[in-house]
Amino acid sequence: MNWSNGFIAVDWGTTNRRAYKLDASDSCAGEFSDGKGILSVPAGGFETAVGEIRQHFGELPLLLAGMVGSNRGWVEAPYVDCPAGLEELAKALVPAPDGSALVVPGVAYRNGRCDVMRGEEVQILGAAAAGEIPPDCLICHPGTHNKWTELEAGRIASIRTVMTGELFSLLKGKSILSELMQGESSPGPAFADGVKRSLSGAGLTSELFGARASVLLGRADPADTPSFISGLLIGEDVRVGLSGGSTRDRPVFVMGRPDLTRLYAAALSQAGVESSAVSGERAFIAGAAKIVELIR
């Protein structure tokens, strides 16, 4: 593979993918995204799925990150252990079966408890390489599974995943709370009330039912319930994320969709922690460029 004329970087997740064309000077010359996550690619279908990307951007080598490197993806790229920096990722790239692409490994944390990530590592290490976040900080990465990542000396030192987004979806989709959760969540008083309860260590699995009981007993407005439950879940997430001893005095950065980052920023602020938002897309491009620089 000749990487000197530019390449295509793909953040390929479970339910969607986002591809960027980088030119010879690593500037972004185009991007597209669609809902073709790895779960929608049939067995043996990755050559075709990659072909669609090349129809957009031409015959360039590909750098693929995210769940495409999992055991349900195109080719499994075994996890690199913490502490992991861009050098460790670059050394552990795995070629795709057809020789047209390299797949970025995920990162594993094993220290008493276990945790893993695939995809976020390129964004986080890219943000650090680009100077958008300092080499020592805590990153909060909201999504289906929020990842709290400790960066130490520019390398990923620990990971803690919290299933907040997935739990919210499960409860909203088909639970006794579903009806009460159909509206939008916003960081107002109801959200703050939920955050406060969870930060104080109230039991989430009990407070969730309390949200329903409060409506039944006329003590809460049903219109506030999506925000309150969102506050409970995100408050618990922040409580867990900040519980790592060494993270208290580090700057905190939130990376992700704006609708989520503002809720997390509000909850962090309530916990007495100021945070800054970082663009995950720009960070991904920076990380991919840095990895390719290391193998050119």
Peptide bond into 83 cis (omega under 30): yes
| 22 three-state secondary structure | strand
Q: Which is nearer to a copy of itself, 167 or 265 (CB)?
A: 167
CB of 252 to a copy of itself, least distance (A): 17
CB of 296 to a copy of itself, least distance (A): 31
Q: Which is nearer to a copy of itself, 24 or 176 (CB)?
A: 176
Which pair of tokens denotes residue 200? 């104080």
CB of 162 to a copy of itself, least distance (A): 5
DSSP 26: S
Q: How far apart are CA 183 and CA 267, in angstroms?
A: 19
Q: Which is nearer to a copy of itself, 43 or 216 (CB)?
A: 216
Q: Which is nearer to a copy of itself, 108 or 278 (CB)?
A: 108
Rg for the chain, CA atoms, rounded:
20
CB of 111 to a copy of itself, least distance (A): 11
Q: How far apart are CA 112 and CA 119, in angstroms?
A: 23
Beta strand ranges found along the chain (DSSP E): 7-12, 17-22, 28-34, 62-66, 80-81, 94-95, 101-103, 107-111, 113-117, 137-141, 146-152, 155-162, 252-255, 275-278
Q: Which is nearer to a copy of itself, 4 or 206 (CB)?
A: 206
Q: Which is nearer to a copy of itself, 68 or 171 (CB)?
A: 171
- Residues forming the site for a copy of itself (CB under 8 A): 79, 108-110, 113-116, 145, 160-164, 166-167, 170-171, 173-176, 201-210, 213-214, 216-217, 219-220, 233, 236-237, 239-240, 243
Q: Check: CB of residue 42 under 8 Å from CB of residue 28.
A: no
Cα–Cα distances in Å, from 5 out to 2, 51, 286? 7, 19, 17
CB of 15 to a copy of itself, least distance (A): 12
CB of 172 to a copy of itself, least distance (A): 11
